[in-house]
Chains A and B, each alone.
Chain A
Amino acid sequence: MITVQGLTKRYDDRTVVDDVTFRCEPGTVTGFLGPNGAGKSTTLRILAGLAAPSAGTASIDGRTVRQLPNPAAVVGALLDASAVHPGRTGRGHLRLLAEVIGVPRGRVDELLDVVGLTGAAGRRIGGYSLGMRQRLGIAAALLADPPVLIFDEPANGLDPEGIRWLRGLLRGHADRGGTVLLSSHLLAEVEHTVDHLVVIGGGRLVADAPIDELLAADVTVVRAVDPAALATDLRRAGHPVERDGDRLTVGGTPAEVGAVAARCGHALVDLRPAGRDLEDLFFQLTA
């Protein structure tokens, strides 16, 4: 489990992360969203032990990364796919990392195959595309099969097949009890992958809830055999109603709307929450 408690980071008099608190539970994929400069990368770097907090803590299963004997066996992190030496080969890069972690060399070739880089493994990384570097970074994060994954913009540069594969990897990892913290600007991708959302803006936490809860607005779409009569009864009951043909968009939960319809004897043909998409929610939260 990832626990971030009262995390604050100041550079001189500028506060880039301000008292941020959230948790990522095992078995879930948590999306970590925020506009550029919101403090996401700083939070992830503190969590990974690369930066020191000004206040608060960021821990994994109760220990900071610096307290873990062999951190890469517990946390697989992809924070910047371009942070690799361009003069090394992909295989050489992974072999050096495998030796540090203590995993057998055979694991390197296994992962190169998994991420589709076997053919390019002997080439220098300087000649890799962004997508290839992302795949190499994902392979590096997975070398020791760590239970916790922290990925910052992992889908950048990946082709659609790669993005689908990545989604399957992250979901599968969580389904087997792993913990995933995923930062991404590809909101549609996040919406399809995560269970929980943490949103920060201006360094402060602005949302921390299951994605279904955040996307579910108190607005209901309803269709009835007699939409005009239902609209009248709903308005009488105090619900704002917009009518578009036989479709009514009503302020209120499906349960409240359904109760009014039942009390007034309306036959319904459709009753469902009017969902928002993540993009609307993101701009609403971070405006």
Chain B
Amino acid sequence: MIAELGHYALMLALGLALIQGSMPIVGARSNDPVLMSMAAPTAVAQFAFVALAFGALAVCYVTSDFSVLNVYENSNSTMPLMYRLTSVWGNHEGSMMLWVFILTLFGALVAVFGRNLPIALKANALAVQAWIAAAFHLFILATSNPFLRIVDAPLEGRDLNPVLQDPGLAFHPPLLYLGYVGFSISFSFAIAALLEGRIDPAWARWVRPWVLGAWMCLTLGIAGGSYWAYYELGWGGFWFWDPVENASLMPWLAGTALLHSAVVMEKRGALKVWTILLAIVAFSLSLIGTFLVRSGVLTSVHAFATDPTRGIFILGILVIFIGGALSLYAWRAPLLKQGGLFAPISREGALVFNNLFLTAACATVFVGTLYPLALEALTGEKISVGPPFFNATFGPLFVPLLLAMPFGPLLGWKRGDLLGAAQRLLAAAMLAAVAIAASYALERGGPVLAPFGVGLSIFIMAGALIDIGERTMVLRIPLRAALRRAVGLPRSAWGTAMAHFGIGVTLMGIVAVTAWGSEHIAAVKPGETVDIAHYRLTFEGLINRPGPNYRDLVGRFVVRRTNGDLLGIMEPSRRTFTARNMATTEAALMRRGVSQLYLSLGDPNPDGTVPVRLYFKPQVLMIWLGALIMFAGGALSLSDRRLRVGAPRRSKARVALQAAE
């Protein structure tokens, strides 16, 4: 009954989406306020029905209703409650439900919080949002219905794919989708602007918080996925340049570019046409990502099932939305009034620099990800494009971007003083030089360029601190006055500096772990030891340990420093899930500062030895710590009053300070 209720609610949501997609547009064309004002309530109602459908599916999972095919295939009554709940989106149908749930959630949020938007823009944007929703509702109902029943319900379900039985499943997909789908808002606003043929700097002010929110979630979603892959897959890599990872990185790169170009548009009225294009591209890349992951053209942990009709359906959605949006752009963009030009050395110029390199880097990822698919479709030749390709293209494009990053915030709008900025960054450059020299002196081995990577990350971090230092004039004026300036500084300035600092932290982690990480693979018997870096691990033996729906074969290792100090116990395991008779590797991690010891087990050999992989990952946690800092920077910036539409200015004094920025 509950499943049927969900199914019915989803159909009603489709109906509402069709109304929301048509009436407001007609209203905007004929300037009919009644029709236009239909957009907001239908958006809220549509969300309510999708939420009902999603809730119904969740109830089926929590109560282990195996008469529902989707639940039978992906759940098991012995799973803990958390996994019964998260397995709602641990499969194709459910994850598409999560997608539309978040999509309509955003639509409803725009409807509720967009009270100050011009009525026509809001009506058009919500209508576009409803087209996307309608396409995906139709997709779910036609090809991926999660509410199908089985006659003669089985007693037990087939269990969730063991790789997904992890707390990561609770965070990674929802955050990633919040990011992906969040870009649909800027897309809808861009299309609405094109439909109206009018755009102004205020557009950027309305769109920027949504872009920022989506970017924050995507940042955290990608980082979370990376950490999950790192500890779950058992070989300790944090990024594989796997097409599915690239699918999430591309919208992130485009979204980062959009975030920066929208600033130029808001502050200076320039780059309008470009910003619109980026808004279209960012969401198009999210759609392409969904297509790559969901259609089965790629095989990966994320491709839950391969069904050609689904692939063709999503491809259709892709062609209609991306093709339609770009055609509309080609047709209408020339109508938009161009913004002014600016001196190359200026804040605007620096942001254009950022945009050029980000989009170029995004393009290389795009080509590297899609070229194998295109080649196979055209010639049948199968190739793989792996890390060497991306290291040779993405890397060189990111270096100038990162080098230039500390300069950007120090340049003035309109006309910047590059020499002045360079002088102010002198301290950062000196610090970086010291770091390069120190890493050459301290580390033996590793790639020759690695110390420069360390230097670059120090330069970025110090540059972010100098940015704040310059704004607060700390060290130059009395501390009290500097503090007052720090409090008065717009939160978006703090947010920028923080996010840039986070990039430096992540870079440091990536460089250190790639250059100086060590690996030891061995087959050990109880009593034997394995050495790595400054640590010695003694294998004590294997223990069997039952779990709720699995059994663990645990290897017990005592960790000591090479000089004998006892540090603790590490217990990696081989986890066999009974329902699917499938094993996963549960790596053991031991944190040492921001570094980690990483230990995973292989299948025991017939001669009684156990293969182990032991890694020492120096500074590895900084990779994800940096992403957290970026997220926090974004959140700080989002809390800036200026970003909230129509938020009342607090006082005259504050306005004056903002102008001085």
Q: Do A and B come from one complex?
A: no
